[in-house]
């Protein structure tokens, strides 16, 4: 007789299957998830403080909807294998789905936030928080409003989020797509080359000018004289004084787009000064943000290191932690017959990159549960009484748990409380129950007091509210 032995598990056909996550992804254990959730909660509080409402969209969209929105970045879109239906792709960001939502529901205004995973077929760099699956936290304002009022609030939101996360050493680089286009026009670049040249210029935060210069000449085909003129502009950075200096540039003055952009940048500085964040702004003419849909002000929050050497090193690795800008035409591309445009501006917070900073900064494992009370027993045969008390605590909306053994050792139960930092333990024993009392133990101080069983819920509630 042949075949498997009776107790042999069925073969999976993958006996040597490597146990690892797909490239560019990672698992987040309880400690990491506790830290991530704390960060996400802090970000949401800022978004809600500014009046934003939550939104969720599908994790995949119709492929044709995403096509043509991201310029050269489109090669990073994850396309899904067609299963007999319409061609689909995983969402690349949260901005295009939001614009699709506004167009689909024929909205004229909306202030929304969204926290969700996005997917990019990129070359992962985990140490820099650069993954293929990662969270974005977006804040957007859609609607026709007066210039720079929504834009300034987006900058304020970025600064508030970073302050809320206790990240102090950062700068918000700003530029304007119309100014960038005007600079390229002044330098003799044809309009059809603007976007591809911008994608090279945008690499100046990662590459020296000499490397970008070589790419513009050898790969993009620009003349050396043109590239040298571009270099004179895109290596400039500064504050409001740079805006004034560019306004005096005779070549730029001839272009309406440049004048409009400089006026808007000056207004942005004024509003950000009232929001007390103007000192964070730095005009950086190399900032291009390669996505095709930006039409006006663009910005990017960059960590610059701090007094702490470890954080400075991590900041250098992570770099940009937030970015966004104005995209006035994106909604209209989904609904070309609509008479009125829906201008938009928004910002995206890179949660994975911030998480790298927080994880490196954390000196101890964060608490991973919300249990407030542990119900412990001293003697055998008390598990039914434990369940009764446990149910009363739950009914009072108190987070509680107990051992899943009918007769656990008291020392094991108390060690569990200390290991998971559960603040209080209710200890029951035959003698105490005969007198109608239980012991309430402060796990941190190990102090105990007798509490009447009928008053337990009231006493625990008071302790949790007011502390010991």
Give the annotated binding-site residues for L-histidine: 93-95, 120, 136, 140, 289, 293-294
Annotated binding site: 93-95, 120, 136, 140, 289, 293-294
List of residues 6+ apart from 357 with CB closer than 8 A: 165, 167, 303, 311, 314, 315, 318, 321
From the list 92, 91, 93, 101, the residue with the least C-alpha distance to 142 is: 101
List, as one string, the DSSP characters of 4-32. Answer: --TTSPPP-S-TT----PPTT-----HHH
Residue 88 backbone phi and psi in degrees, to 5: -130, 165
DSSP 3-state helix, strand, coil percentages of the chain (rounded to 5)? 45, 20, 35
List of residues 6+ apart from 339 with CB closer than 8 A: none
Question: Which residue do the tokens 């964060």 mark?
Answer: 366
Cα–Cα distance, 448 to 419 (Å, whole number): 19
* Burial (CB count <10 Å: 0-12, 13-18, 19+), residue 153: buried
Alpha carbon of residue 301 to chain centroid: 13
Secondary structure letter of residue 263 according to DSSP = H
Cα–Cα distance, 221 to 67 (Å, whole number): 26
From the list 294, 348, 289, 347, the residue with the least C-alpha distance to 151 is: 347
Residue 444 backbone phi and psi in degrees, to 5: -70, -45
Contact 124, 23 (CB under 8 A): yes
Query: Encoding tokens for residue 371?
Result: 């249990």
Secondary structure letter of residue 292 according to DSSP = T
Q: CA torsion 37→42→46→47, rounded to 10°? A: 0
Go through 107-122 and write b for each residue having 16 or more CB atoms within 10 A of its CB, e for each that does not. eeebbbbbbbebbbee
Other CB atoms within 10 Å distance of the CB of residue 172: 24
What is the maximum span of the chain, computed from C-alpha positions, in angstroms? 95
Residue 397 Ramachandran class (φ > 0 left, ψ -120 to 50 alpha, else beta): left
List, as one string, the DSSP characters of 86-124. Answer: --EEE-S-SHHHHHHHHHHTT-S-EEEEEEEEEE-----
Query: Encoding tokens for residue 165?
Result: 């996360």
């Amino acid at each position: 007789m042949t075949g498997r032995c009776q107790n042999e598990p069925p073969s999976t056909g993958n006996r040597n299957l490597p146990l690892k996550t797909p490239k560019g992804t990672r698992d987040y254990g309880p400690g990491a998830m506790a830290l991530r959730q704390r960060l996400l909660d802090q970000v949401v509080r800022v978004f809600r403080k500014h009046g934003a409402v939550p939104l969720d969209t599908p994790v995949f969209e119709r492929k044709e909807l995403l096509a043509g929105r991201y310029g050269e970045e489109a090669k990073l879109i994850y396309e899904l294998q067609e299963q007999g239906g319409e061609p689909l792709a995983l969402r690349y960001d949260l901005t295009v789905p939001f614009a699709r939502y506004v167009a689909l529901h024929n909205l004229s205004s909306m202030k929304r936030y969204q926290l969700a995973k996005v997917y990019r077929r990129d070359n992962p760099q985990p140490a820099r928080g650069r993954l293929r699956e990662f969270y974005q936290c977006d804040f957007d304002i859609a609607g026709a409003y007066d210039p720079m009022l929504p834009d300034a609030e987006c900058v304020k939101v970025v600064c508030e989020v970073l302050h809320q996360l206790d990240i102090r050493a950062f700068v918000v680089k700003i530029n304007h797509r119309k100014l960038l286009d005007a600079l390229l026009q002044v330098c003799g670049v044809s309009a059809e080359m603007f976007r591809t040249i911008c994608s090279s210029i945008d690499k100046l935060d990662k590459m020296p000018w000499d490397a970008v210069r070589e790419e513009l000449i050898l790969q993009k085909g620009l003349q050396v004289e043109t590239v040298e003129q571009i270099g004179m502009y895109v290596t400039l950075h500064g504050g409001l004084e740079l805006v004034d200096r560019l306004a005096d540039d005779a070549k730029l003055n001839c272009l309406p787009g440049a004048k409009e952009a400089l006026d808007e940048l000056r207004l942005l500085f004024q509003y950000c000064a009232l929001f007390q964040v103007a000192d964070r702004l730095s005009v950086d003419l190399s900032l291009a943000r390669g996505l095709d849909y930006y039409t006006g002000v663009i910005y990017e929050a960059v960590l610059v290191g701090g007094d702490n050497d470890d954080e400075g090193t991590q900041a250098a690795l992570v770099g940009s932690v937030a970015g966004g800008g104005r995209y006035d035409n994106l909604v209209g591309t989904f609904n070309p017959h609509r008479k009125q445009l829906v201008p938009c501006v928004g910002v995206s917070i890179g949660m994975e990159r911030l998480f790298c900073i927080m994880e490196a900064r954390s000196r101890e494992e964060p608490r991973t549960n919300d249990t407030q009370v542990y119900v412990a027993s001293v003697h055998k045969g008390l598990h039914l009484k434990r369940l009764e008390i446990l149910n009363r605590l739950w009914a009072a909306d108190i987070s509680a748990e107990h051992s899943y053994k009918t007769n656990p050792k008291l020392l094991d139960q108390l060690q569990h409380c200390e290991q998971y930092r559960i603040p209080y333990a209710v200890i029951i024993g035959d003698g105490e129950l005969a007198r109608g009392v239980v012991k309430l133990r402060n796990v941190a101080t190990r102090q105990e007091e007798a509490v009447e069983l009928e008053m337990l819920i009231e006493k625990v509630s008071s302790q949790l509210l007011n502390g010991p």
